[in-house]
Amino acid sequence: GTNGNDACKYAPKGSQIYGRAGWYNDLWAIMYAWYFPKGFWMDSPSRRHDWKSVVVWIDNPESQTPKIVGVSMSKSDTKYNKETKTRPSNFAGYRTKGPRYHRTYSYGSNTSLRFQYQSDLGSPYLNFGDWE
């Protein structure tokens, strides 16, 4: 709808998440993009159609244990927040070992970016499209 949050609470046709990966400046970039039918500013609907994206930068996808060297998250239509000091606690699927102040990290096999807020509106697994 065109009024406020009409039809924005649920995605009856499924989520619209897209991904693409490739080399850029000697790093492997994995981009995830989310499409939203309505854009918001300060919790108020401000426009139709909005995109948000995250780029995860790794050193080598062929490596047995690729290293995440940075993460870029869209902040606006033209700007990104860039983080090069990612900690294991930023990802789901990690475990700590050892005494409280001398912990080491043991990584799980299912890592994913952890979002600041969680939603109970739908499944944690979303439809994903890969395009060439």
The rounded distance, in Å, linking the Cα atoms of 75 and 53 is 9
Q: Is 23 helix (H, G, I), strand (E, B) or coil?
A: strand
Question: What are the pLDDT digits (tens) for 18-61?
Answer: 889 999 999 999 998 887 777 766 666 677 777 788 888 999 99
Is the confidence at residue 106, as pLDDT, over 90?
Answer: no
> What are the E-state strand segments in the chain?
17-24, 27-41, 44-58, 68-74, 80-83, 91-97, 104-113, 128-130
Name the burial class of residue 6, with classes exposed (0-12), middle (13-18) and buried (19+) by CB atoms within 10 angstroms of its CB: exposed
- DSSP labels, 72-106: EEE-SSS-EEEES---GGGEEEEEEESSTTS-EEE
pLDDT of 124? 45
Q: Which residue has the higher pLDDT, 14 or 65?
A: 65
Closest CA to 35 of 50, 47, 21, 45: 50
pLDDT of 10? 58
Q: Is 58 helix (H, G, I), strand (E, B) or coil?
A: strand
Compute φ and ψ for 128, nearest 5 degrees: -135, 135
pLDDT of 36? 75
Question: What are the pLDDT digits (tens) for 45-56?
Answer: 677 777 788 888
Residue type, 132: E
Mean pLDDT: which of 2-6, 13-17, 50-54, 92-96 is highest? 50-54
Q: What is the mean pLDDT of residues 75-82?
A: 73
